[in-house]
Homo-oligomer: A and B are copies of this chain.
């Protein structure tokens, strides 16, 4: 495109935000700028971008609209859900702040995510988590049948099943997200990254506290199954396809079925980075001395 035409094009401000600005406003202004740019270059998508983003005065309204239209059904109408989401997001700044932290996390960690609006519109993991945050509020307000109905819609539409009682931190990335199951008494810390098909499940034996506790900065690879009231220490890494039934110490890596620590139980290899943020899925392989095919 010739330089002269660029001036007419919507400008997307550069990332990251200046320190002085409010994060929510900044992310929202980014999202609008991205959507404006995309609407201009792709008329076939412009209607969608106006409906979901550009017609809304705030992130809370845009997100409420988008979730309501994704999750509605013939018996749970979009206007009812819109009211519900908007009411919760408006009244609860921490829920909005968590959504913003999630948007920043996805953009930062996922190389396939090239814009905030892409995440807001298209990441079913992101959308499932935001719907969960509202369901969790309803759960805490003793509006349990409604919270469970919301969980059910998310499970149908996104194939992500998070019990409304589960407590999730901020800066969460659910990448791809299909098949993620998080049980009633699970707790997930901040800045955790969870790939698809991950289960934070119960032991099945008992009522009460029976699901995993995931520390801050943990990375859980695709298809990993963590069962029972076990503790995954902060910054730990769980390899793809692992089955974890026992606690994992902080900043260590567990792999395999049943999972074992890389480096062994006695001298586990401790890493310094925060895998939930660096998203390093596979570097442990070189440390897994005998692993060649």
Q: Residues of A with Cβ closer than 8 Å to B?
A: 38-39, 41-52, 54-55, 61, 65-66, 68-70, 72-80, 82-84, 109, 111-112, 114, 118, 121-124, 143-146, 148-149, 151-152, 155-159, 161, 163, 176, 178-179, 181, 183-184, 195-197, 199, 201-208, 210, 219, 221-223, 225, 227-228, 239-249, 254-261, 265, 278-283, 285, 288, 291-293
Contacts and interface: CB of A to CB of B under 8 A. Distances in A.
Contact of A145 (B45, B61, B247, B282): B45
15 contacts: A43-B50, A44-B146, A47-B54, A47-B75, A82-B83, A118-B148, A161-B196, A178-B181, A179-B179, A181-B222, A197-B199, A204-B280, A241-B242, A245-B285, A255-B258
Chain copies in the assembled complex:
6
A77 B80 contact: no
Contact of A201 (B109, B149, B207, B281): B281
Given A46-B55, A163-B112, A259 B293 contact: yes
- Please list the 4 inter-chain residue pairs (A to B) with the smallest Cβ-Cβ separation, ordered nearest first: A204-B279, A122-B152, A47-B51, A47-B50
A80 B54 contact: no
A208 B201 CA distance: 34
Contacts of A205: 278-283
A28 B158 CA distance: 30
A206 B291 CA distance: 22
A21 B248 CA distance: 50
A39 B47 CA distance: 10
A249 B250 CA distance: 36
A111 B149 contact: no
A158 B156 contact: yes
A51 B94 CA distance: 30
A285 B157 contact: no
A156 B69 CA distance: 13
Given A44-B84, A47-B55, A79-B79, 4 more contacts: A45-B146, A70-B156, A72-B74, A248-B293
